[in-house]
Amino acid sequence: MTDSATTGPDFLYCCTFDGHGGAALLDPQSVSQWSAEAGTLWLHMDVNDEASRGWLHNESGLEPVIVDALLADETRPRSFSTDHGLLVVLRGVNTNPGANPEDMVSVRVWIDKNRIISTRRRRLLSIIDIQEMLKEGIGPNSPGNFLSGLVARLADRVGDFIDDIEEHVAEAEAMMATQDQTQFRQMVSALRHQIASVRRFLGPQRDALDRLYRQPGDWLMEADIRDLRDEADRITRYLEDLDLARERTMVLREEFLGQLAQEQNSRMYVLSVVAAIFLPLTFVTGLLGMNVGGLPGLESPRGFAGSLVIMVVAAIGLVLFFRSKKWL
């Protein structure tokens, strides 16, 4: 393995936009020779790489507060502008194989008039989408176009996740009466956890996008601002869909608890009726079972049969009484 300290930062992707949807790949060692005349520069790096972290601190020319934001371990979605550019922190659902979608992956992007620097700790498929589009010649042609495209692809995957959530909620609604109670409870709890996890970041992301197209600066064109406004509206609709799905899971939980309570009440009712019927029988057997002299029928050969008749008549009388009261 090559020592990163001698070879420089290991950029995940390094290119310049050609202005027509394509890109020219750059050697990481030639980044220092880049100039604005060569086209918009895009550097995408993994901040787990120490050399990349050192490059941001020492060679990027960014303000320390911007570098700290690009290297932060965990951040909520936000956006703010300076006199030199725009910082955007966004999150997308985790669509990596074997990962939980609600474990949202963050991407941090610095944009100025001629340069884009994006950082990540875990792979984000929306970034890979843009790389593939540049390879096919249909990618972004400016920093603002890059940002609006990234936001759109993040929103697309959020939309797919919400569609899956709604399908699972519909399945839970259809299977509530037939599914095992433990499995149903686990399913609803998992859905509520997923909804809460995604909504935790989707709300701030909507606010960040809402502020984004109002930021001053000449790195966003009118078309980019319009696209960002549309994406902010789409995130708002997704939030409303999540709220509706959450309400549906709450209704499901209440219906499940009500159904469970009704079943328990029914069982307790049956047990109470059975206990009431056997109460006089228990009284008679207890009374006749006392080991004292003078019990009626103790010396009679028909004493046992008489006791049975008394108990049967008492049981039938109670059943008829319950039926007359519509308790049975």
What tens digit of pLDDT does each residue of 8-28 get?
Answer: 677 899 999 998 999 999 888
Q: Which of 165-169, 237-241, 321-325 has the lowest mean pLDDT?
A: 321-325
Highest mean pLDDT among 8-22, 72-86, 165-179, 277-291: 8-22
Report how far residue 176's alpha carbon sits from residue 56's, in angstroms, rounded to the nearest whole number: 53
**What is this structure's pTM?**
0.75
Residue 166, classed as helix, strand or coil, is: helix
Average pLDDT over residues 237-251: 91
Report how far residue 205's alpha carbon sits from residue 104's, in angstroms, rounded to the nearest whole number: 12
C-alpha distances in angstroms, 199 versus 182, 260, 277?
26, 29, 55
Burial of 290 (0-12, 13-18, 19+ CB in 10 A): exposed
* Cα-based angle 246, 251, 256 (whole degrees, multiple of 5): 125
Average pLDDT over residues 113-117: 90
95 has a pLDDT exceeding 80: no
What are the extents of the domains in the chain? 4-259, 264-324
Output Rg (C-alpha) for the chain, integer angstroms. Answer: 35
Architecture of domain 4-259: 2-Layer Sandwich (3.30)
Distance of CA 11 to the CA centre of its chain: 31
Can you name the CATH fold of 264-324?
A: Methane Monooxygenase Hydroxylase; Chain G, domain 1 (1.20.58)
Q: Which of 37-41, 45-49, 171-175, 211-215 has the lowest mean pLDDT?
A: 211-215
Average pLDDT over residues 42-63: 89
1 has a pLDDT exceeding 70: no
6 has a pLDDT exceeding 60: no
Distance of CA 126 to the CA centre of its chain: 18
Q: Please, what is the average pLDDT of the chain?
A: 84
